[in-house]
Amino acid sequence: MSKEDVESGLTWEVKANSRHYHKHKQRKSFLCFTWGRYSDNVVRSHKYSLLTFLPLTLFEQFQRAANIYFLLMVVLQCVPAISSIPWYITIIPLLVVLSVRGFKDLAGDLARRRCDSEINSRPCDVLFSQSFMTAQWKDLCVGDVLRIRRDQIMPADLLLLSSSEPHSLCYVETADIDGETNLKYRQALGATHNELTSHPSEEALGAFNGVVLCEEPNNRLYTFRGQLQWQGECFLLENEHILLRGTVLRNTDFAYGLTIYTGTDTKILRNCGKLRVKRTQLEEVFNKVVIGIVLSVLLAAVLLAIGAGVSSYQAMTKTSFLSALVIDGKPAYNGFLVYWSYIILLSPAMPIALYITFELIHTIHSKFIGWDLEMYWQQTDKPAEARNTSLSEELGQVGYLLSDKTGTLTQNRLLLRQCCIAGEVYGDASVSAEDVKPMDLSWNPFSSGGLRMFSPTLVETLRGQRCPVTTQFLSALALCHTVMAEWKEGSLVYQAASPDEETLVGAARELGWVFLSRTRDFVVVSELGATRQYQLLALLDFTSKRRRMSVLVRDPQGGLKLYCKGADVVILERLQKNCPHKESNEIALELFAEACLRTLCVAVRSVPEALWEQWSRTLALSAAMATCERDTLLEKLYDEMERDLLLLGVTAIEDRLQEGVPETIALLQEAGIRVWVLTGDKKETAVNIGYSCKLLHPESRLLEWQELREILQSADPQVSFFKAKQTELWATHKEMARAKTSVVLTGPELAEFEERPEWGASFMSLAEQCQSVLCCRVTPAQKAEIVELVRKHTASITMSIGDGANDVNMIKTAHIGVGLAGREGGQAVHNADFAVSQFRFLQRLLLVHGRWSYRRISLFLCYFLFKTCGFALVHIWFGILNGFSAQSLYETWFIALYTVFYTATPVMCMAFFEQDVSAESSLKLPELYKSGQKKELSSPRKLITYLLYAVYMSLVLFFIPCGVFYNTDYDYQTMAVTVSMAATFAVTIEIVILTKYWTKFNIAALCVSVVMFFICSRITHSTRLFQSSPADYFFLGVSEKAFIDPMVWLTALLTAWAAVLPSVTSHAFSVILSVHNKHKIHNSSPPPVELRSRFARGSSLRRSSYAISQGAGPGRLINSTTSIQRAEVLKEEKVSTSKKL
Amino acid sequence: MVKEEQEESPNRPDNTAFTQQRLPAWQPILSASIVIPMFVLIGAAFIGVGVALFIASRDIQLQELDYTGDDSAHPCYKCRSSTEKCTCSMTFSIPNLFKGPVFFYYGLTNYFQNQRKYGASKDDNQLYGDLDYFKDPSSSCDPYTRDSRNIPIVPCGALANSMFNDTFSLSHVVNGTQKIVPLNGKGIAWWTDYNVKFRNPSVTPLINAFNGTKKPTNWPKPIYELDTTDVYNNGFINQDFLVWMRRAALPDFRKLYRRITHDDYVNGLPAGNYTLTIEYNYPVYSFNGRKKVVLSNVSWMGGKNDFLGIAYIVVGSMCVVMSIVMLIVYAKFKFAEDD
């Protein structure tokens, strides 16, 4: 490796066909040490092996503070000197918790293992000493030469050496990388193509000994820098030469590639981001509260221990009957022991059962999501799926929805819905595409269906050849494009880089103008059955700056024609004077824009022979020029040719939205969720979709980078933002007052944020006032950065939704990631927390399941906190009256069974079934969702209120029975049973108050729990158990006596009622006040969602564009000669300057 | 046809009320017209119970005699610091008939029988009559497990060691002569304690079981001599011992000593003067404790207890007050809306 290479950053060295060399340097790891340079091609997402499972799972589980805490409790309880309750009370639940969790992890890991091994054992052909052998993906090594067959997935990042197609072209589908289904072209270097395309190719490939020097592995999907050193020459390598892992080879029999990056070094895996364990905010808040409880317990124990020391001292000096019990006669030591005893005694305040119950509830909620018939998609036979079972309550708190566009909002299916030819509009966009009657096209042998435009008049006009303009229009559609035609199984298949072109050519084919094939110089078209050959003289390619493309052809009669199609603004300014139908076409443009269709203008020009001759001479000259000079000249030349056009008509294409997308977005926005769109697509397309899915209001103002930058740079972004808004208001019509602002950004602009981190906060505060934010041309990593930005600067829950591998990173970064289970091999789904089949299912997922889940879990946590703290804190008060001796006020069995049998099931039933409003009402009243965003039920304040309530309950639970039994002959055990009874009653009344939805399970659980208390008490106090172990069942006969004592009952009832009185009262007040509130809600119920946009007639809101997925059109490829230098391809426009409104 | 498809697909979720979360449920719709009357009703019920309790408690007669003797004028003052056997007597009069059956309690204050170590300082197996634990009592009895010569103590532990050992006799002054009121010591302990929890070892005579053991250090006589007259009231099943061993809940407590159920006193104590004679042994002055004798009768609710009745009335009144506040709030909103 030369010094120069290091400086240029090309430090990654790959030697072709030298497996031994690379194998030696393969990355290996042992424990936490790794060495070696090249990663292997094995996917390892599993964590455990047979040996490491037990230690690892225990290690992980004991990272959870609660488990450590309980383990400590068990240890403490084993020390006889401080054991205030026996050790088995804690260890049994702890073991259950650990093993349940362990088995769950193990099952998940086994599933991952299966999934990994499926990927790792996929076959691929590797060249071993001049012949291809089938190997598995995991055996691949950097430097291997591979043969990829048609429809195979690339196992690693490859350098394309040659392919079975002419010029070593090959087509790849990148659906798993960026979600786009149209094919992309890749072409091998001329040198490798020429040298390696021999038959059989094995020999040449086996002898190939080039060395690739390139960048270190990185996550930039669209760029690649490197060079191939071979035969003493050095060739520059570009992204066009690279086949990325995860892409699929299409329409190409074989492609040969050199492995450059493997495994974790590949670009797509570099883009995947780190797997992070997602925890819900509610859980975090709750964990903090639990830590708070533990600290308070420790503090209380300190105070009690001091009390114990003092009382021991008093006992020593005064109380003869107790003095001997002070160990070693040291009050301080006694206090120290009592400290630990109190920690044990108060530990039930933080119940171990909570975490296991919490998980159970999450699991059931996730099941409910999978069971929902309304989220089941019949067509693909897929129900919704909660892949991460611990996030369900966050679905009820989402503040930001960040959505991918292609495949998520749109179906990635374009349809020609309307067109306007010679001023005549054909087709009706108000009929939805599914309802369009199919036309009778049986006369056309090439028709394959799929035209969603009903217009018999157009067909008649065409077949009768009555109108020359119409004929020309169809010819233009059939000729002016860069589509490739291919015969596949007896039918004609089009391959296009632009889905729009594919649609238009397909539509022309349905109408009888069939594009049959193309060679370098000719285009063959069948016009109503008559095959005609057009000579292709020039192809004036599309760029995002030109926003049009043209072909110059010589028709069979010898006439020269320029067919041009492009965005309306560009075409309209190039029309000849007094062009007929211009006005009617403009009206049609308005009409199509209103229906949110994407429009293109089609025009023609008859070129005089003389002009062509002169023009072609200049063009030939340009070939010899330097790149930059040539570009200017070409631009000028093209401009000369594309003028004096005759407008033929307008096409209107519908970018099919997924079902119910506008309704869903409107509903979610009403629910207070901010919807952002992040897409790799062009700005024009993104904005267009933004309008059609009602994300952008037709009147909303788009705030673009220039303006945004100024606002952000100004001293006070808020002020200048409002100023900008205000001037807008002053300047425009009053109608605009209601208009909102949306921000439109592109990837390169976003990159500036990285350099100016201080902008993040002010940008977010602006964005919060905006209707929406659209980010276009962003890479997967940038998508994740945006999510990170939102997470960092707002307290809201973010949710990402996407369907492609390019969304994986953002899905992983967001609080909640949703994968759209549309197509095969859903990378997104594998990494998502939830998988749904349709975008509109988000409505139910968020507003119904999310809202319910949030409510249920919040109530559950508050109640759980209340019932355990209220019950455990009693010991603090009892300590005052028993000399701070850590005497338990309950029987040990009651402590053990209280959380499990006596109080667990009713709250679990509530957490399973509770519904404050029905699913239908949840969808009808989206504003109900806002309470989750505001964290009304789970705020720390709410939890603290419940804690205070628990403290109150513990006071009541102790002091009322204390008052009753003071100075009477009631013994300690009777009082213990009375307090237990009161505690059970109180928490039962509390759950009755909280439950609003009483299914038979709730009622049964409630009855069983209370009955359980009486039965279990009688059992643990029974003679038989006492006789088997007198030390463990020493409450013999207490309940027998207490349960028939009216004083015990009266005391328990009074205590229970007094304990829940604050809660009952506050609920009663809320009932009384809610009568008032309900009235309010009723009055202010929102107007029905208006889905048709309100267009002011005459407003110029045309959106005409031409969708090409990445950069310039492939026209150059079509025109190319074999010696074409791909490196010269125009650099794609980074910043599109044009903007439409 | 659609139905066939549904049956075919195993992925299709079941359409049951449970999975679709459409379980039939009762959703009580609460309103002010339910809540407010409910509060009034509950409040009224609590007040009713409270009044009943209060009346029942008021009707109970109670005679309390403090014999701690910290006042030099008190007859028991002399016994306070005496180390010898000391007897003192107190006289009191009962104005009206003290309805029977009359319960005779002794009471202690500031006495922490609910102290954890104190309460645990016993050996349940020993008290269950298991001879193995006579030889080797549980360490929970420390430091009252063995005496200075390492002989095991039976019954071991602080609880037994500190057993209350004052004795009382009550005499009625009839025409200037003292007439002993018979005190019934049977059935004052819990049935389960007497029959199940505590057992004498099945050795006759009982004394043989205690060979090689020592009496608790504070006791004047060993456990098998607590009541030599009655086999069924001796040893571990001695009623006074059982009553003592059942720990009190709180530092101020009473324990049943005897019942007055015999002879002329079946219907209660007639009006007149009585003399209580106390054999004063138990020291309480070191920890500011007090000792008393309580005579009381019982009602349906047990002994005298004003607290519960008052607490019921207070909580009931709070409910009623709340309902009034709710009514005001409700009316306010109602009128505000009407405007």
| Predicted confidence (pLDDT) per residue in B82-100, tens digit | 777 889 999 999 999 998 8
pLDDT (0 to 100) of residue A1099 = 37
Kindly list the residues from chain A whose CB atom is less than 8 angstroms away from the CB atom of residue B128: 1030
Residue A1098 has pLDDT above 50, yes or no: no
Rounded to an integer, the average pLDDT of A504-528 is: 88
The one-letter amino acid at A647: L
For A1049, name the nearest residue in chain B, comparing CA atoms only: B301
A337 CB near a chain B CB, below 8 Å?
Answer: no
Closest-CA distance, B161 to chain A, in angstroms, reads: 8
pLDDT (0 to 100) of residue A1141 = 30
Residues in chain A, overall count: 1141
DSSP 8-state class, residue A1090: P
* A&B contacts, CB < 8 Å: 237
pLDDT (0 to 100) of residue B248 = 93
Kindly list the residues from chain A whose CB atom is less than 8 angstroms away from the CB atom of residue B158: 321-322, 324-325
pLDDT (0 to 100) of residue A179 = 60
pLDDT (0 to 100) of residue B190 = 93
Question: How does the average pLDDT of chain B come out, rounded?
Answer: 89
Name the pairing type of β-strands B102-108 and B291-296: antiparallel
CB contact under 8 A, A965 and B333: no
CB contact under 8 A, B114 and A882: yes
Q: Which of B9, B36, B337 sits opposite A1076 (nearest CB)?
A: B337
Kindly list the residues from chain B whose CB atom is less than 8 angstroms away from the CB atom of residue A381: 9, 11-12
Q: What is the pLDDT of residues A214-231, one digit of tens each?
A: 888 887 777 888 888 888
Alpha helices in chain B (DSSP H): 2-8, 32-58, 116-120, 124-127, 132-135, 158-161, 191-192, 239-245, 306-338
Closest-CA distance, A1035 to chain B, in angstroms, reads: 10
CB contact under 8 A, A1076 and B21: no
Residue A1137 has pLDDT above 60, yes or no: no
Q: In which residue are the tokens 């989750």 written? A: A932
Q: In the structure, what pLDDT confidence band is assigned to residue A732 with cuts at 50, 70 and 90?
A: very low
Residue B174 has pLDDT above 90, yes or no: no
Residue A1122 has pLDDT above 60, yes or no: no
A1043 CB near a chain B CB, below 8 Å?
Answer: no
Report the half-sphere exposure of B137 (CA within 13 A, side-chain side).
Answer: 31
Question: How does the average pLDDT of chain A come out, rounded?
Answer: 82
CB contact under 8 A, B112 and A996: no
CB contact under 8 A, A325 and B252: no
Residue A1031 has pLDDT above 90, yes or no: no
The 3-class SS string of A201-238 reads HHHHHHHCCCEEEECCCCCCCCCCCEEEEECCEEEEEC
Sheet with strand A233-237: strands edge to edge: A12-15, A211-214, A226-230, A233-237
Closest CA to A575 of A610, A604, A548, A597: A604
CB contact under 8 A, A885 and B112: yes
Residue B150 in 3-state DSSP? coil
A1063 CB near a chain B CB, below 8 Å?
Answer: no
Interface of A with B in 21-40 (CB under 8 A): none
Sheet with strand B177-181: strands edge to edge: B86-94, B272-280, B167-174, B177-181
Q: Which of B250, B254, B301 sits opposite A962 (nearest CB)?
A: B250
CB contact under 8 A, A1030 and B124: yes
Residue A679 has pLDDT above 60, yes or no: yes
Other C-beta atoms lying within 10 Å of the C-beta of residue A731: 8
| Cis amide prior to B13 (ω within 30 degrees) | no
pLDDT (0 to 100) of residue A1086 = 43
* Residue A1009 near residue A906, CB atoms below 8 Å: yes
Residue A1052 has pLDDT above 90, yes or no: yes
For A920, name the nearest residue in chain B, comparing CA atoms only: B22
Rounded-to-integer distance, Cα A238 and Cα A220, Å:
12
Rounded-to-integer distance, Cα B187 and Cα B332, Å:
62
Q: Which of B35, B53, B114 sits opposite A1071 (nearest CB)?
A: B35
Could you tell me the CA-to-CA distances from A294 to A297, A298, A869 in Å, in that order?
5, 6, 11
Most confident of A450-459, A827-836, A1039-1048: A1039-1048
Closest-CA distance, A986 to chain B, in angstroms, reads: 15
Alpha helices in A539-679 (DSSP H): 568-572, 582-594, 609-622, 627-641, 661-670
Name the pairing type of β-strands A424-426 and A701-703: unpaired
Rounded to an integer, the average pLDDT of A1083-1087 is: 44
Kindly list the residues from chain B whose CB atom is less than 8 angstroms away from the CB atom of residue A1045: 302
How much helix, strand and coil, in percent to the nearest 5, is found in chain A? 50, 20, 30
CA dihedral A420, A423, A424, A426 (to 10 degrees): 10
A709-723, A1031-1045, A1101-1115: least confidently modelled range = A1101-1115
Closest-CA distance, B87 to chain A, in angstroms, reads: 22
Kindly list the residues from chain B whose CB atom is less than 8 angstroms away from the CB atom of residue A315: 287
For B325, name the nearest residue in chain A, comparing CA atoms only: A1069
Rounded to an integer, the average pLDDT of A950-968 is: 95
Phi, psi of B19 (to 5 degrees): -70, -30
Other C-beta atoms lying within 10 Å of the C-beta of residue B91: 12
* Residue A957 near residue A983, CB atoms below 8 Å: yes
A263-267, A315-319, B83-87, B199-203: least confidently modelled range = A315-319
Kindly list the residues from chain B whose CB atom is less than 8 angstroms away from the CB atom of residue A372: 13, 19-21
Q: In the structure, what pLDDT confidence band is assigned to residue A204 with cuts at 50, 70 and 90?
A: confident
As annotated, the active-site residues of A are 404
Closest-CA distance, B166 to chain A, in angstroms, reads: 15
Kindly list the residues from chain B whose CB atom is less than 8 angstroms away from the CB atom of residue A1076: 333, 336-337
A1076 CB near a chain B CB, below 8 Å?
Answer: yes
**pLDDT > 70 in chain A, percent:** 88
Closest CA to A689 of A408, A497, A960: A408
CB contact under 8 A, A913 and B322: no
pLDDT (0 to 100) of residue A170 = 84
* Residue A662 near residue A761, CB atoms below 8 Å: no
Residue A945 has pLDDT above 90, yes or no: yes
Rounded-to-integer distance, Cα A1141 and Cα A1138, Å:
10
A1028 CB near a chain B CB, below 8 Å?
Answer: no
- The per-residue DSSP string of B267-331 comes to TEEPSEEEEEEEEE----GGGT--EEEEEE--BTTBS--HHHHHHHHHHHHHHHHHHHHHHHHHH
CB contact under 8 A, B11 and A383: yes
pLDDT (0 to 100) of residue B198 = 92
Q: Which of A324, A975, A1026 sits opposite B158 (nearest CB)?
A: A324
Q: What is the pLDDT of residues A898-917, one digit of tens each?
A: 988 899 899 999 999 999 88
Could you tell me the CA-to-CA distances from A749 to A394, A752, A945, A1140 in Å, in that order?
31, 6, 47, 18
For B139, name the nearest residue in chain A, comparing CA atoms only: A80
Rounded-to-integer distance, Cα A907 and Cα A994, Å:
9
* Residue A123 near residue A141, CB atoms below 8 Å: no
Other C-beta atoms lying within 10 Å of the C-beta of residue A583: 10
Kindly list the residues from chain A whose CB atom is less than 8 angstroms away from the CB atom of residue B250: 881, 962, 965-967, 975
Residue A5 has pLDDT above 70, yes or no: no
CA-angle at B14, arms to B8 and B15, nearest 5°: 115
A284-298, A597-611, A860-874, B303-317: least confidently modelled range = A284-298
Closest-CA distance, B22 to chain A, in angstroms, reads: 9
Q: In the structure, what pLDDT confidence band is assigned to residue B312 with cuts at 50, 70 and 90?
A: very high
Report the half-sphere exposure of A180 (CA within 13 A, side-chain side).
Answer: 19
Residue A1124 has pLDDT above 50, yes or no: no
Rounded-to-integer distance, Cα A531 and Cα A527, Å:
6
Could you tell me the CA-to-CA distances from A143 to A146, A159, A207, A215, A1025 in Å, in that order?
9, 10, 13, 15, 75
Q: In the structure, what pLDDT confidence band is assigned to residue B303 with cuts at 50, 70 and 90?
A: confident
CB contact under 8 A, B109 and A1030: no
Rounded-to-integer distance, Cα A972 and Cα A639, Å:
102
Mention every residue, 6+ apart, whose C-beta is less than 8 A from residue A849: A365, A368, A369, A372, A392, A395
- The per-residue DSSP string of A712-763 comes to HHSS-HHHHHHHHHHHHHHHS-GGGGG--EEEEEEHHHHHHHHH-TTHHHHH
Q: In the structure, what pLDDT confidence band is assigned to residue A505 with cuts at 50, 70 and 90?
A: very high
**pLDDT > 70 in chain B, percent:** 97
Residue A1094 has pLDDT above 50, yes or no: no
Rounded-to-integer distance, Cα A636 and Cα A956, Å:
90
The one-letter amino acid at A676: W
* Residue A452 near residue A440, CB atoms below 8 Å: no
Residue A1066 has pLDDT above 50, yes or no: yes
What is the ipTM, given to two decimal places? 0.95
Closest-CA distance, A446 to chain B, in angstroms, reads: 33
pLDDT (0 to 100) of residue A342 = 92
Residue A660 has pLDDT above 80, yes or no: yes
Closest CA to A687 of A752, A732, A745, A628: A745
CB contact under 8 A, B246 and A997: no
For B128, name the nearest residue in chain A, comparing CA atoms only: A1030
| Cis amide prior to B137 (ω within 30 degrees) | no
pLDDT (0 to 100) of residue A7 = 60
Kindly list the residues from chain A whose CB atom is less than 8 angstroms away from the CB atom of residue B25: 913, 915, 997-999, 1002
Residue A691 in 3-state DSSP? helix
Q: What is the pLDDT of residues A767-802, one digit of tens each?
A: 887 888 898 878 778 888 899 999 998 889 999 998
CB contact under 8 A, A1027 and B319: no
Rounded-to-integer distance, Cα A1009 and Cα B169, Å:
50
Could you tell me the CA-to-CA distances from A249 to A15, A252, A484, A616, A656 in Å, in that order?
24, 7, 16, 37, 26
Rounded to an integer, the average pLDDT of B103-111 is: 93
Rounded-to-integer distance, Cα A861 and Cα A859, Å:
6
Residues in chain B, overall count: 339
Kindly list the residues from chain A whose CB atom is less than 8 angstroms away from the CB atom of residue B337: 1076, 1079
Rounded to an integer, the average pLDDT of A574-584 is: 86
Q: In the structure, what pLDDT confidence band is assigned to residue A286 with cuts at 50, 70 and 90?
A: confident
Closest-CA distance, B214 to chain A, in angstroms, reads: 18
Could you tell me the CA-to-CA distances from B310 to A162, A1048, A1120, B306, B313 in Å, in that order?
98, 16, 103, 6, 5
Burial class (CB in 10 A: 0-12, 13-18, 19+), A977: buried
Rounded to an integer, the average pLDDT of B203-224 is: 89
Most confident of A38-42, A189-193, A1054-1058: A1054-1058
- Please state the pTM of the whole predicted model: 0.82
Kindly list the residues from chain B whose CB atom is less than 8 angstroms away from the CB atom of residue A341: 116
Residue A739 has pLDDT above 60, yes or no: no
A1140 or A886: which leads in pLDDT: A886
pLDDT (0 to 100) of residue B338 = 65
